[in-house]
Amino acid sequence: MARKRNGESLGQDLGEPAAGNGLLHRRAFLQGGIAFTGGAAALAVGSQPGLAASAQANPIGNGSPPWMTTPGKLFSPYGMPAEAESGVVRTFALNKLAPGVGSSRTPHHRLDGTITPNGLHFERYHNGVPDIDPAKHELVIHGLVDRPLVFSLDKLLRYPMESHIRFIECAGNSASAAGAAPPQANVQSIHGLLSCSEWTGVPLSVLLDEAGVQKGASWILAEGADAAGMGRSIPLDKAMDDTILALYQNGEALRPEQGYPMRLVVPGFQGNINVKWLRRIKVTDGPTQTRDEIAHYTELMKDGKARQFWLEYGPKSFIARPSFGVNLTGPGYYEISGLAWSGTGRVAKVEVSADGGKSWAEAALNEPVLSKALTRFRLPWQWDGQPAVLMSRATDERGIVQPTHDEWSATFAPGQIYMYNGIQNWAINDKGEVANV
Amino acid sequence: MARKRNGESLGQDLGEPAAGNGLLHRRAFLQGGIAFTGGAAALAVGSQPGLAASAQANPIGNGSPPWMTTPGKLFSPYGMPAEAESGVVRTFALNKLAPGVGSSRTPHHRLDGTITPNGLHFERYHNGVPDIDPAKHELVIHGLVDRPLVFSLDKLLRYPMESHIRFIECAGNSASAAGAAPPQANVQSIHGLLSCSEWTGVPLSVLLDEAGVQKGASWILAEGADAAGMGRSIPLDKAMDDTILALYQNGEALRPEQGYPMRLVVPGFQGNINVKWLRRIKVTDGPTQTRDEIAHYTELMKDGKARQFWLEYGPKSFIARPSFGVNLTGPGYYEISGLAWSGTGRVAKVEVSADGGKSWAEAALNEPVLSKALTRFRLPWQWDGQPAVLMSRATDERGIVQPTHDEWSATFAPGQIYMYNGIQNWAINDKGEVANV
């Protein structure tokens, strides 16, 4: 009973390699062109016909496992992950001098799909998580407006809302990969300042329209109610476009570390622009030049000039499985799985190489591919047990291609780390161990 | 600075009612046709120009709230909701004789968007949550196959995967609404056996293809490793179509109560068919007639015959805000917000009535509208303070329309409760209190 979707015949032999070093066609499985078994000897795993082991004659004859002979655990008001998954957590290193300054990272090497569960969304604070009483929190809109306004959370719940799946990425994500020596560290350590959620809230344009933006206005200042008073300037065009005042994350109220009770979600823009614990929007005729955008978040170029207010992410991707610490367990079939995204819109294409960039095969993108959201890509791979170098390269819908590390380095002064989006290379040795190269 | 997307002019006055009792056009806000302020007196809230209050002359002159003057809380490995949201939890009533039998419910009246966070996904067990050691758990495929196979979790991680956002609904969801008297209970109590997640796993067809399904096979038996040995029969066509063996829910490994380490996700089919803690699939030439599908989950019709293996949900919807217990706080503008879904595919349309079904307006559907997933619908409403009856009616992409309670009752024998999908009516009195009618 071969699986042929829509009864179509195969126009090509999908079992043939799509690129060097064992990369197979992205539709190989979905269109039934290959199978673990069947005649395709290249797909055999060791001496077995497939990855699965053959079952004994009576496959359930060995009696019941212990968890089938005892009544199970009871209901809980709010569920938590299995104890066996207790290692799948955010990682962080406390700063002894200023413990509320820093970040924690999402374990993408242990996750799959595109949504980040709320408990594992990366954190970044400039002075810890404020303990806000939602009944006393207010959002003020003032500055170049006809009517300065104050919004309570209760009132905002009556406003029109939208839901969108969007990634948020810290400006410092992948910073360690921007340097000259590739860090021998896992995906969580290198790329973990990145997460993706379904955000629900009020379009900021609705609130700005109600306040009445005046002529001459061109930027807004957004300020948080944390003890850092974190403030960033945002171009008014972006604030009026797809920016929302988010109240819900993945269905439920925002988590405290994600800005409870309200934050901005500014799709595709630098993480700190998505101001958390939002208390104030001031409509202005230019950027405010806050401490947070002068002392940080500018990028020095090769020519000695600095980029300020460079806010929109370019296309980026990494392979999560296999990756550093997620090794191969023997030759044979694997699915290469990773994440791609772009601040500019949808991901148009992700290519994967298994031979260090000599040849590339196009990965399958998990549908629906959404704008400014994480996109899962996958590609079948037959590993022959020999050394290989895996790479992924994202192209966005404008045709912009993710740069190599060298291309990125040619643009910026040494030591620059923000907004790094170079290609991630993983070298696999003949034992299946993965190194960053 | 009026908000007109793409500079288009408005072809109609979107501030005009779309249906009786104050329902406005679904695009009213997005196309800038109305605003809280401006000339539209119908949109005024009480004597104020909008829902927001006017800010004082110096809107941030009252000093900083206490949470801005103290460093905040520090990082956590796995985050939890805010303490102020501690009432947003699953509800359940323990069965004293058999405490592992029952269900807990998702608080949809306190959520928004379409994703259910993992901690709030509804639960349903027949003998509690088994405490499974994932390293010892195995999945067997046997029966009418060429090669009986055994799969470990480790090996499954090498197989091709897909991610899909799908709803799961218990057969008994909304059961209390199927009776003659509408229950005076909230959305969580009535419709809370329903949740929606991004599920990631291996297409079941890949595993069945590897085992080699034999001629004459037409069903499978799926059996869980819980202490109830819960088993259900599934038509082979469905098993080979869009059914997946799920390993991840909203990005992370399945929660124990959702089938850790593996479960079936059978899109659009009755909840218990999505067998959790899956240990065995037997390919068969007919339904197995397990205890679980003989003693339960059959539906008696008016003519004395019973429907068995009636598995696919029809179109359904409810309004979550306002709803029982989620009252209005005074006349003026509100957004009506709710959920719609269908086991048959995408939701094509949701209509809302504010006058008990005399007139209907089409709600906005949050994009992307995905097949067999919860769809959020929203519609602006100007409540005049007079009694009103709110209803929502979903139509799926096949053109099937959600029935009224009376239409549903005309088909089934009295006392039948499974798969109920009748229209939910909420009556609002002149105090803004909501009752079920």
Tens-digit pLDDT profile for residues B12-65: 455 678 999 899 988 776 444 444 433 222 223 333 345 777 765 445 655 789
In this structure, which amino acid lies at residue B251? Answer: G
Distance CA B193, CA B171 (A): 8
At B53 the pLDDT is 77
CB distance from A414 to chain B under 8 Å? no
**Cβ A142–B55 below 8 Å, yes or no?**
yes
Predicted confidence (pLDDT) at residue B140 exceeds the cutoff of 80: yes
Instruction: Write out chain A's pLDDT in tens, 437 residues.
Output: 334 433 333 334 556 789 998 999 887 764 444 444 332 222 233 333 457 777 654 456 557 899 999 999 999 999 999 999 999 999 998 888 898 899 999 999 999 999 999 999 999 999 999 999 999 999 999 999 999 999 999 999 999 999 999 999 999 999 999 999 999 999 999 999 999 999 999 999 999 999 999 999 999 999 999 999 999 999 999 999 999 999 999 999 999 999 999 999 999 999 999 999 999 999 999 999 999 898 888 889 999 999 999 999 999 999 999 999 999 999 999 999 999 999 999 999 999 999 999 999 999 999 999 999 999 999 999 999 999 999 999 999 999 999 999 999 999 999 999 999 999 999 999 999 999 99
For residue B49, the chain A residues in CB contact (below 8 A) are: 147
**Taking CB atoms and an 8 Å limit, are B335 and A161 in contact across chains?**
yes
Backbone phi, then psi, for B278, in 5-degree steps?
A: -60, 125
Radius of gyration of chain A (CA): 24
Question: Measured in Å, how far apart are chain B's first and last C-alpha atoms?
Answer: 44
Q: Which of B175, B435, B437 is closest to B324 using CA atoms? A: B435
pLDDT score recorded for residue B398:
96
Nearest to A427 by CA among A387, A394, A392, A393: A387
A376, B163: Cβ pair inside 8 Å?
yes
Question: CA B124 to CA B119: how far, in whole Å?
Answer: 14
Instruction: Supply B235's token pair.
Output: 């038509």
Task: Say yes or no: A148 contacts chain B, CB-CB below 8 A.
Answer: yes
What is the per-residue pLDDT for B296? 83
> What is the tens place of the pLDDT at every residue in B172-226?
999 999 999 999 999 999 999 999 999 999 999 999 999 999 999 999 999 999 9
* A120 contacts B78? CB cut-off 8 A: yes
Q: A93 — contact with chain B (CB < 8 Å)?
A: no
Question: How far apart, in whole angstroms, are the C-alpha atoms of residue B24 and residue B46?
Answer: 18
Asked whether the beta carbons of A262 and A275 are under 8 A apart, the reply is: no
Q: What type of residue sits at position A71?
A: P
Residues of B in contact with A227 (CB under 8 A): 67-72
Give the confidence band of B11 by pLDDT, cuts at 50, 70, 90: very low
What's the mean pLDDT in B318-328?
A: 98
Q: How far is A61 from chain B (nearest CA, A)?
A: 11
Both tokens assigned to A87: 């290692």
Q: Look up residue B329 and give its two tokens.
A: 């706080």
The verdict on a CB contact (< 8 Å) between B78 and A74 is no
Q: Smallest Cβ distance to A85: which of B59, B227, B253?
A: B253
The pLDDT of residue A50? 58
Question: A128 CB near a chain B CB, below 8 Å?
Answer: yes
Say if the Cβ atoms of B137 and A29 lie within 8 Å.
no
Q: DSSP string spanning B121-170?
A: S-EEESS-B----TTT-EEEEEESBSS-EEEEHHHHTTS--EEEEEEEE-
Q: So what's the pLDDT on residue A27? A: 73
Main-chain phi, psi angles of B319, to 5 degrees: -90, 125
Is some CB atom of chain A closer than 8 A to the CB atom of B326? no
Please report where in the chains the tokens 């798969």 appear, as a residue: B419
CA distance B273 to B283: 15
Angstrom CA distances, A169 to A55, A345, B261, B267, stand at 45, 14, 30, 32
Query: From the DSSP assignment, how many helices (H) and strands (E) are in chain A?
Result: 7, 27
> How far apart are alpha carbons A45 and A328 in whole angstroms?
13
**Which residue of B lies nearest to A260 if distances are taken between CA atoms?**
B82
B350-361 mean pLDDT: 97
CA closest to A80 among chain B residues: B119
Name the pTM for this structure: 0.93
Mark yes or no for CB contact B99/A65 under 8 Å.
no
Residue A195, beta-bridge partner list:
A168
Other CB atoms within a 10 A radius of the CB of residue B7 amount to 5
- Predicted confidence at residue B50, as pLDDT, reads 58
What ipTM was assigned to the predicted interfaces of this complex? 0.93
The residue of chain A with its CA nearest to that of B77 is A90
Identify which of B75, B132, B133 has the shortest CB distance to residue A92.
B75
* Mean pLDDT (whole number) for B246-250: 98
Judging contacts by C-beta atoms under 8 Å, the chain A residues touching residue B60 are: 140, 142, 279-280
Contact B82 A253 (CB under 8 A): yes
Sort out which chain A residues have CB atoms less than 8 A from B257's CB and list them: 75-76, 79
Contact A117 B251 (CB under 8 A): yes
Continuous segment of H or E residues that includes residue A406: helix A405-411
Q: At which residue do the structure tokens 């029935």 appear?
A: B403
Interchain contact, A368 vs B368, CB within 8 Å: yes
Position A430 scores a pLDDT of 97
- Closest Cβ opposite residue B51 in set A52, A155, A248: A155
- Check CB contact under 8 Å for B51 and A252: no
C-alpha span between B280 and A60 (Å, rounded): 8
- Test B140 with A321 for CB contact under 8 angstroms: no
Element (H, E) at A154: helix A153-156
Looking only at the bridges linking them, the beta strands covering A434-436 and A425-428 are: antiparallel
In whole angstroms, what is the distance from residue B100 CA to residue A212 CA?
57
Q: Does B370 contact A368 at a Cβ distance shorter than 8 Å?
A: yes
Listed in sequence order, the residues at least 6 apart from B294 whose beta carbon sits closer than 8 Å to its beta carbon are none
Bridge partners of A54? B149
A72 and B CB contact within 8 Å: yes
Distance CA A104, CA A88 (A): 13
Specify the pLDDT at position B275.
Answer: 98
